[in-house]
Amino acid sequence: MGSIEATAKPRSVQGYIDEAPVWADGTPVRAAVMTAMQWRIWGLAAAGKFFEGLVVFMTGVALPLMAREFSLDATGYGLVSAATLFGILIGATLLGGLSDLFGRRRLFIVEMLLFIGFLALLAGAPNFVIVLIALFGLGIALGCDYPTAHLIISESISSEARGRMVLAAFAFQAVGALCGTALAYFVLTYHPQVDAWRWMYGLVILPATVVVIGRFFIPESPHWLLEKNRLQEAEQALRRLLKRDPAYPRATPLLGKAAELAQDAKKGSKVLWALFSNRKARRATILASVPWFLQDLGTYGIGIFTPVILATALGHAPGHAANLADLLQDDLLAAEGAALIDALLIVGILFAVLLADRFGRIKLQVVGFLGCAVGLFIATLSDNVSPSMQVPMIVAGFMIFNFMTNLGPNAQTYLIAGEVFPTRYRAVGAGFAASVAKIGAVLTAFLFPTLLATVGKDPLLFGLIAASLLGAWVTFAFRIETNGVSLETLDADEDRT
């Protein structure tokens, strides 16, 4: 072993991760084979996205029951829906950005511990104030997951597979949305009581505990360790990441960073100013943040309130149920409609996984934004058709929207935000972009119930159409294609700026 280490030529972290086998005649295999540890990291990150989709979208079904238990008006509806999203806004930058300072793995564990703690608080909340605190705390944990889940995958995966593997994990947000609706439906069916919403959240605690235990048994990102000039630890982490049977590589000598670059990295990870420090950084920040903000205006507004909109369209406006039985029946009907529409989220993200590394992030995001506008426009036409066709038109429009948003902006904004920034402030950049996005989500979630009741659905939908068209333009105008580009290339470009 000593002779191998003595003769092995130092390489970069990504150089080891990207290395693919070669056939006996010299023909290279197209992609590196993932190790068991790489798959474990991917699965644990996918679980985090699953819980996000489950909790956020399940809230749409739980909301009428909370409203009945705590006698909520339209403002109360908005507060419940906005609490988690506001927590994500705060957590993505303030907590998620700390992974640039303290490490990806540490924050990956902390966020799930917070998630479990606030789930337990929510399930047993004695009053409305505690409900809001618990939902806000859940949002902080989920916000931290935005940068850390992406980075812990992307910094452990080959450049060739990075896009589809990050998006495949992100797809579990849509799976979680569908499962959250299904879980809510199951609980309502077997426990048709006002407190059913408590069981919905409480049942998530056990699987979340299994996930947090698994996160203790993964290595730190070797990219991050090397950025902090912790060379020996980076080599050890890389060997754990690439452990195979038979062992290869048996030694992982790394190219170290210059002392001055390591010092700059330490400074750059602590401040948001790095995101605006030069023209290239500002371009990346705009591309990562603004389209995501515009996309979240539609996705979270429509996603959370799909059950409410469907109930209204079916003639069962929320808050007007004559008794508890009517309320539960309306909630079950809304959950069924939401499940049908949420299924298109999964189909859309599967297409994104298949196409992101083939056509690139920018093309799919532009096309997706345009498709969202088409779906929303179809929904607005429901008032101009016969009453029997109104609900099918709304459902069709929302289904197209959900498919196109997950093919394009909902998937690609998440992917782009974790790729366009260098390692030294990648978590801060991705977290900042997620926070800006959630400003749009919070505004939409908080204002949507009141605006839906006062101005109606059509003006809201036309506003979201305009946001989708603007998102397509901003994406094209500030485009940076990261398809297949090594993360270390981005670091090198930044060092030369």
What pLDDT sits at residue 6? Answer: 47
The region, left, alpha or beta by phi > 0 then psi within -120 to 50, assigned to residue 35 is beta
Q: What is the mean pLDDT of residues 12-23?
A: 85
What pLDDT sits at residue 259? Answer: 47
Closest CA to 65 of 391, 337, 307: 307
Q: What is the mean pLDDT of residues 364-385?
A: 87
The whole-angstrom distance between residue 147's C-alpha and the CA centroid of its chain comes to 9
Q: How far is it, in rounded angstroms, from Cα 175 to Cα 208?
A: 15
Closest CA to 410 of 353, 457, 449: 353
Asked if pLDDT for residue 311 goes beyond 60, the answer is: no
Closest CA to 400 of 333, 465, 485: 465
Token reading at 67: 């409203």
In the chain, the domains with their CATH numbers are 36-488 (1.20.1250.20)
What pLDDT sits at residue 136? Answer: 93
Contact 95, 107 (CB under 8 A): yes
**Sequence-ordered list of residues with C-beta below 8 angstroms from that of 445, at least 6 positions apart, any chain:** 78, 81, 82, 85, 300, 301, 304, 305
Q: How far is it, in rounded angstroms, from Cα 125 to Cα 83?
A: 15
488: pLDDT confidence band, cut at 50, 70 and 90?
A: confident
Q: What is the mean pLDDT of residues 220-225?
A: 93
What pLDDT sits at residue 68? Answer: 83
What pLDDT sits at residue 203? Answer: 93
Taking CA 10 as the corner, what is the angle to CA 7 and CA 12, rounded to the nearest 5 degrees?
A: 155
Residue 351 identity = F
What pLDDT sits at residue 31? Answer: 74
What pLDDT sits at residue 496? Answer: 52
Report cis status (omega within 30 of 0) of the bond before 249: yes
Kindly state the percentage of the chain with pLDDT values over 70.
82
The whole-angstrom distance between residue 470's C-alpha and the CA centroid of its chain comes to 22
Q: How far is it, in rounded angstroms, from Cα 394 to Cα 406?
A: 18
Helices (H), 71-127: 74-94, 99-102, 104-123
Residue range 155-208, pLDDT digits in tens? 999 888 898 999 999 888 878 888 887 888 788 888 888 888 899 999 999 999
**Can you tell me whether residue 159 is helix, strand or coil?**
coil
Q: How far is it, in rounded angstroms, from Cα 331 to Cα 307?
A: 8
Asked if pLDDT for residue 268 goes beyond 50, the answer is: no
What pLDDT sits at residue 425? Answer: 86
Longest dimension (CA), the chain: 81
What pLDDT sits at residue 109? Answer: 96
Q: What is the mean pLDDT of residues 283-310?
A: 78
Closest CA to 166 of 189, 147, 187: 147
Q: Which position has the higher pLDDT, 491 or 327? A: 491
Asked if pLDDT for residue 306 goes beyond 90, the answer is: no
| DSSP character string of 309-364 | HHHHHTT--TT--SSHHHHHHHHHHHHHHHHHHHHHHHHHHHHHHHHHHHH-HHHH
Mean pLDDT of the chain: 82
- Beta-bridged to residue 22, according to DSSP, are 28
Q: What is the mean pLDDT of residues 42-53?
A: 93
Range from 238-247, 451-460, 478-487 carrying the lowest mean pLDDT: 451-460
Range from 49-58, 97-106, 379-388 carrying the lowest mean pLDDT: 379-388
What pTM does this model have? 0.81
